[in-house]
Amino acid sequence: MNGNIRRVGVVGGGQMGAGIAEVCARAGLDTVVCEAGATAARAARERVAASLDRAVERGKLEAEAARDALARLIFTGSLEDLSDRQLVIEAVIENADAKTEVFTALDKIVEDPAAVLATNTSALPVMRLGMATSRADRVVGLHFFNPVPVLPLVEVVTSLHTAPDTIATVEGFAARTLGKTVVHSRDRAGFVVNALLVPYLLAAVRMAESGFATAADIDAGMELGCAHPMGPLKLADLIGLDTVASIAASLYDEFKEPLYAPPPLLQRMVEARLLGRKTGRGFHVYGQE
């Protein structure tokens, strides 16, 4: 199948799923996005359409190309509509039970035994998801970064069961079809990027929690003192504090290192639904978008 993937499915139309669907459609692929129901599917379509409009406004995409990309997208509330897909990318909430349920269902629905089932998980074991299917050799991690249409990196994560031709298929898809840069990781919590990034974000949270410095000063310090394009707490807000906490919990569960443990302040903010940009307030306050 390597190099011949033309029919893609995306499960989940939130921030990450919508971005993945957009880059697939912009690459000329027949793309079906599945959400929890008709209302969520309509919201996913609006999310992609708004992103395409922004790309046009910024001169990154021609208006005709944006219209063509949106025309290649089908939004549905039924997993059954993914039965003919050659590649399905799961991008639902970062929760092991929710993702496992999706993979168990996809295993029964996707008809082609050579089809690849991929997960966009940030930290959960790919092996666990593969073992929820009868085709663990066709299951792989395909981890994109937010915002997907802008950031060029994809992590390809392989379990002990992932077949070499599955790896070749997804690497070719990500690199040649989508034009992304691929890095490879073993199936360990956090993979490459989050295993390095999340302890840094948690250190910033602990610094704010202790009163050592304000969120604004912490971010300014890293932006202006270290030339980071975004400070750690702004970045945590962009990722979503619930996602940061979930990744941290997965890392701590696997490695039992104190630096991976979610700080109490982060846990309280998640409980309060102060999740960052998507809720309008996290370590910083954001206007309506």
Q: What length is written for the chain?
A: 289
Q: Which of 205, 200, 191 is nearest to 241 (CA)?
A: 205
Q: What token pair was written down for 43?
A: 């919201």
| Distance between CA atoms of residues 135 and 103, nearest Å | 10
Q: What token pair was written down for 146?
A: 């937010």
Pairing state of beta strands 30-34 and 7-11?
parallel
| Distance between CA atoms of residues 34 and 11, nearest Å | 5
| Distance between CA atoms of residues 269 and 147, nearest Å | 23
State the catalytic residues: 122, 143, 155, 194
Strand partners, 87: 8, 116
Q: What token pair was written down for 265?
A: 């302040």
Q: Check: CB of residue 161 under 8 Å from CB of residue 136.
A: yes
Q: Check: CB of residue 147 under 8 Å from CB of residue 23.
A: no
Per 3-state DSSP, the chain is made up of helix, strand and coil in percentages (nearest 5) of 50, 15, 35
